[in-house]
Amino acid sequence: MKFVPFVVLTCASLWADQIPPFFIDTVVALGRMDVKIAGQPPEWTTEASGFLYGYLVKDDPEPAKRSYQIYLVTNRHVLSNHAYILVRLNPEKADAQVRQFPLMLKDEKGQDVWFSLPDLKMDISVVQLNPQFLREQGLKTAFFASDLHAADKAKIKDLGLAAGDGVFVLGFPMGISGTQRNYVISRHGSIARISDLLDSIDDTFLIDALVFPGNSGGPVVSATSAIAISGTKSQSAAYLMGVVRAYVP
């Protein structure tokens, strides 16, 4: 067996990728309760990932006074053909246990209460949530704010994000989500191809990162970078820039 040597660089400025800690708190697990052992209580099974997103509805110079509508964002294929799905959120108290609650996806007439684009290629769906209910239940309500933490195509161009720049994929691959709390798994990768998105040829972009079943619906966020070579920009802040749709085998 051959071992390939590698070099560990201790200079912090050469590896400065990071994301704000609260980005982790925006991610939620989606799944169901299954009886895994006959005669035992049902246990949680994680099927997919999602995250909370706040859409600005009332602006104010002071961020604390701004108002947002809160949505759960995930893939269309995660919600389609379901009457409801269980959403699993961490509590605010560190010593409290994770909780799940049913999120109804159809109204009394059987109509879907979640929204998605008519273009089936855009595998994204959203469901509006009641943040007051979540707070009353003592659950975390951290979210990506549309005006502060999200990068649309215009923002991506302004930031100068390009192939080779770092990203993080947040979610619950292979159903690994923890027992007492949701423990989000963060995988580092890079933008593999994004020019076709920026040139409005396609609505998706490719990343080079390990994703597995369970990552579906999880956020992709840009990484910060303290250094940049000629012709590129350093990145002083991280942004939500996409949603995991699928992996290429």
The enclosing domain of 237 has a CATH number of: 2.40.10.10
Query: What mean pLDDT comes out for the span 77-83?
Result: 92
In a domain, 215, yes or no: yes
Strand partners, 50: 28
Write the DSSP string, 68-131: EEEEEEE-HHHHTT-SEEEEEE-BSSTTSPPEEEEEE-B-TTS-B-SEE-S-TTS--EEEE--H
5 lies in some domain: no
Q: Report yes or no on 159 lying in a domain.
A: yes
User: For residue 121, what pLDDT is reported?
Assistant: 82
**Contacts (Cβ under 8 Å, ≥6 apart) of 6:** none
- Is 2 domain-assigned? no
Give pTM, 2 decimals: 0.89
Q: What total of structural domains would you count in the chain?
A: 1
Average pLDDT of every residue of the chain: 89
Which residues, at least 6 apart from 96, have a Cβ–Cβ distance to it below 8 Å? Answer: 138
pLDDT > 90? residue 143: yes
Q: Is residue 1 part of a domain?
A: no
- Structural domain containing residue 81: 12-243
Q: What is the pLDDT of residues 191-232, one digit of tens each?
A: 999 999 999 999 999 999 999 999 999 999 999 987 777 777
